[in-house]
């Protein structure tokens, strides 16, 4: 069992303190409970502490949380148990998660790939804006990139990548009528990443980097006219009440890695490691299925379709992907998004792309000139 509670406050940047905290967070051997009646000694379940994905979304509430809090115990006959807290409620800065996993401060945790943008942009390659127009394409993109990603995390950071999760499609909501993506020209559009900003800018739009919590205030105040966010998360925010049109093209999706500090992973009982190696791919598949359903359900709720489940029924116009939109997506990816990502990322990233995703997508990255 662990002897340290979840981190419930913002961590100090002093890594000496973090390293000290790490000593308290690595898994220990099974603890024995006090002697049971009659003198017998019972072995308490081996307990893990998990930092999970984003709170309040179906991927977490319907899949991640039940797996750790209930299924693990059931699958192991009560020998192994876990507690889980979503990372955005654990006091763990998202941008520091990979470092905290490396140090062992967080032995088992989930980190958004988008949080790698500043320090490790090469890891964001599978979800560049415009790269994956549907979830089947996203799966094939990730399949091509995953061996590199897993090896890099293990060799460079001492982190064992155990699963890759996906969030629903990020699409464009607008206050004014939208016929094609080209209509974003001149419109101030909320984005959440540099690659989304590249995509919007290439369409002639004005990208505005805005936090999720500020989407509604920004649209209401007129600071933005459109916003890129998840189909269902946008519905939950109330976007059908302030926007009229939503475009069906996924600009990006949102990937997250569930990983373990390598020392913490290797310290687990072998049968627990085997169980997790067997069951985590099933959890991953369930989360991907949930993401696909939520993408469709979000659209159904935004337009007010009878198929809407769990969201507020709006009356939005869903703009289908036109042949012109598909051409624009491909052209912008090749001419703007990929080259700018390589420019930010460096020659090494162009090499990684060309060895992994490039051949699958039929797209070569040209190293930026010095």
Q: How far apart are CA 67 and CA 53, in angstroms?
A: 13
Per-residue pLDDT at 370: 65
- Residues counted in the chain: 370
Query: Could you tell me where the beta strands, DSSP code E, fall in the chain?
Result: 32-35, 41-43, 46-52, 80-86, 108-112, 159-166, 170-174, 188-191, 206-209, 226-230, 245-247, 255-261, 317-319
Give span(s): CATH 3.40.190.170, the chain. Answer: 15-32+43-167+254-296, 170-252+312-344
Per-residue pLDDT at 184: 98
**Each residue of 149-203: pLDDT tens digit?**
999 999 999 999 999 999 999 999 999 999 999 999 999 999 999 999 999 999 9
Q: Which CATH number does the domain 15-32+43-167+254-296 belong to among 3.40.630.30, 3.30.565.10, 3.40.50.1370, 3.40.190.170?
A: 3.40.190.170
Q: How far apart are CA 65 and CA 271, in angstroms?
A: 22
- Answer with the residue of higher pLDDT: 220 or 25: 220
Instruction: Compute φ and ψ for 110, nearest 5 degrees.
Output: -110, 135
Nearest to 323 by CA among 172, 181, 129: 181
**Each residue of 256-292: pLDDT tens digit?**
999 999 999 999 999 999 999 999 999 999 999 999 9
Judge residue 339's burial from the number of C-beta atoms within 10 Å of its C-beta, 0-12 exposed, 13-18 middle, 19 or more buried: middle
- Using alpha carbons only, what angle is made at residue 193 by residues 293 and 108, rounded to the nearest 5 degrees? 65
- Flag the least confident range among 117-126, 167-176, 220-229: 117-126
Fold designation for 170-252+312-344: D-Maltodextrin-Binding Protein; domain 2 (3.40.190)
């Amino acid at each position: 069992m662990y002897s340290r509670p979840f981190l419930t406050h913002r961590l100090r940047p002093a890594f000496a303190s973090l390293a000290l905290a790490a000593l308290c967070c690595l898994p220990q051997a099974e603890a024995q409970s006090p002697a049971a009646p009659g003198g017998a000694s019972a072995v308490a379940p081996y307990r893990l502490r998990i930092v999970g994905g984003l709170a309040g979304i179906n991927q977490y509430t319907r899949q991640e949380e039940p797996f750790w809090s209930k299924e693990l115990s059931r699958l192991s006959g009560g020998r192994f148990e876990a507690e889980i807290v979503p990372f955005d409620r654990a006091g763990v800065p998202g941008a520091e998660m990979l470092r905290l996993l490396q140090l062992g401060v967080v032995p088992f945790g989930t980190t958004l790939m988008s949080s790698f943008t500043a320090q490790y942009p090469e890891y964001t390659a599978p979800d560049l804006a415009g790269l994956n127009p549907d979830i089947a394409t996203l799966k094939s993109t990730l399949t091509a990139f995953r061996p590199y990603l897993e090896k890099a995390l293990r060799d460079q950071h001492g982190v064992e990548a155990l699963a890759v999760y996906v969030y629903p499609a990020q699409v464009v909501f607008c206050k004014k009528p939208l016929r094609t993506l080209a209509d974003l020209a001149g419109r101030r559009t909320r984005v959440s990443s540099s690659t989304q900003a590249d995509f919007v800018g290439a369409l002639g739009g004005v990208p505005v980097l805005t936090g999720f919590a500020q989407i509604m205030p920004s649209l209401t105040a007129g600071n933005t006219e459109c916003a890129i966010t998840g189909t269902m998360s946008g519905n939950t925010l109330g976007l059908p009440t302030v926007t009229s049109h939503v475009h069906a093209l996924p600009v990006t999706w949102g990937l997250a890695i569930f990983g373990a500090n390598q020392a913490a992973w290797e310290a687990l009982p072998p049968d627990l490691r085997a169980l997790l190696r067997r069951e985590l791919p099933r959890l991953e598949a369930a989360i991907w299925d949930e993401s696909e359903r939520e993408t469709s359900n979000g659209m159904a709720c935004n337009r007010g379709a009878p198929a809407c489940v769990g969201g507020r029924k709006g009356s939005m116009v869903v703009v289908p992907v036109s042949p012109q939109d598909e051409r624009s997506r491909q052209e912008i990816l090749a001419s703007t998004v990929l080259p700018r990502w390589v420019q930010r990322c460096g020659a090494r990233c162009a090499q990684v792309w060309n060895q992994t995703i490039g051949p699958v997508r039929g797209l070569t990255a040209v190293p930026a000139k010095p």
